[in-house]
Amino acid sequence: MPELPEVEHAARSLGAQVTGAQIVGLSYIDWERMIETPTAAIFADLIAGRQIIEVGRRAKWIVATLDQGWTLALHLRMSGVVTVQGPEAQPNKHTRFVLGLSDGRQIFFDDTRKFGRLRLLDAQGLALLDQAHGVEPLSEAFTPSLLAQIVSERGTRIKPLLLDQTKIAGIGNIYADEALWHAQIHPMRAASSLSADEIERLHASIIVALQQGITHGGSTLRDYRNSYGEKGNNQEHFRVYNQQGEPCPRCGSMIEKTIVAQRGTHYCPNCQTL
């Protein structure tokens, strides 16, 4: 499910509800393998009593700053959903862990496919997480000249380059296709073949596509919900993603779906130039 706009909403809605709250402990876990560091037992020990200072996002990670120098980092991968529930809520078939709060509320993590990942990090671990990712595309640091530099590096096609989290953080399959449509660039274009003009357009288009996603509360194809349990609406505003067989909103040609770098890829064969 979640790419930058969805994780942004997940983090914001979580922060709105639990900033300042105190974690009593890990009250339920049924998939210990999702805790990457430390071990589940040590995690349970360390998380008990922590206060949540702030909730933010880095790349596709929800990052919660805790007291005593700890950071809780949660990746939703494909089907993860974090919600805040009342004291009466019970784990269901897809609930992977629950954190109890001192006021009785509970932070639930549901994840059908069990791909979600959880880490409790010290300052060094947090620094490593940060270093593992590229520029935040909605930050000031993301400029056309930086994109020009990224694009010139190697002989890869443009779509897989957009999906590379070590280059630009947070773009996934939906927003890569949407951004390339806005920029009128074919997903199979050699990245290094982009003109200065196209790089300008792509830079602006990445921001437009992500901002549009945020504006509409993220995209809910199946699982995505924010921490209030609400779906996003951006799927109603897709230009190409899942629009195969529909007319291109710009030129009217039929949108096609193909495979690029092993991912389903949607584009207009007429107005996205190869």
Site for DNA in 123-162 (CB under 7 A): 155-157, 160
Q: Indicate whether 264 belongs to the interface with DNA (CB under 7 A).
A: yes
Query: Per rule CB under 7 A, is residue 6 in the interface with DNA?
Result: yes
Nearest alpha-carbon partner for 62 in 117, 113, 99: 117
Tell me the C-alpha distance between 80 and 78, whole Å: 6
222: contact with DNA by CB under 7 A: yes
**60 labelled catalytic:** yes
> Does residue 113 belong to the site contacting DNA (CB under 7 A)?
yes
Q: Looking up tokens 């349970």, which residue turns up?
A: 44
CB of 1 or CB of 29, closer to DNA: 1
How many residues lie near DNA (CB under 7 A)?
36
The minimum distance between CB 53 and DNA, in angstroms, equals: 24
The structure tokens listed for 223 are 């699982």
* Closest CA relative to residue 241, chosen from 217, 261, 220, 224: 220
* 163 near DNA (CB under 7 A): yes
For the chain, how are helix, strand and coil distributed in percent, rounded to 5?
Answer: 35, 25, 40
Q: State which of residues 10, 44, 47, 59 lies at the interface with DNA (CB under 7 A).
A: 59
Catalytic residue among 2, 91, 137, 187: 2
| Integer angstrom CA distances of residue 40 from 34, 36, 60, 172, 210 | 9, 8, 22, 29, 35
CB of 222 to DNA, least distance (A): 2
Cβ atoms 180, 187 nearer than 8 A:
yes
- The yes or no reply on residue 245 touching DNA (CB under 7 A) is no
Encoded one letter per residue, x for contact with DNA by CB under 7 A and - for no contact, window 202-221 reads -----------------xxx
Of the listed 58, 60, 201, 225, which one is catalytic?
60
Based on CB atoms, which residue is closest to DNA, 195 or 262? 262
114 catalytic? Reply is no
Nearest distance from C-beta of residue 226 to DNA, angstroms: 11
Minimum CB separation from DNA for residue 103, in Å?
Answer: 29
Q: Phi/psi at 191 (nearest 5 deg)?
A: -55, -40
53/136 Cα distance (integer angstroms): 22
Single out the catalytic residue among 12, 77, 157, 263: 263
Is 3 among the catalytic positions?
A: yes
> C-alpha distances in angstroms, 145 versus 15, 142, 152, 175, 201?
34, 8, 11, 21, 12
- Between residues 10 and 98, which has the closer beta carbon with respect to DNA? 10
Contact of 49 with 23, CB cutoff 8 Å? yes
Which is nearest to 266 in space by CA: 198, 174, 134?
174
Q: Could you tell me the smallest distance in angstroms from the CB atom of residue 22 to DNA? A: 30
Judged by CB under 7 A, does residue 118 bind DNA?
Answer: no
Q: Is 137 a catalytic residue?
A: no
Asked whether 178 and 5 are in contact (CB, 8 A), the reply is: no
Q: Give the binding site for DNA (CB under 7 A).
A: 1-3, 6, 33, 59-60, 75, 77-79, 93-94, 112-115, 155-157, 160, 163, 165, 172-174, 219-224, 261-264
Q: Looking at the annotation, which residues are catalytic?
A: 2-3, 60, 263
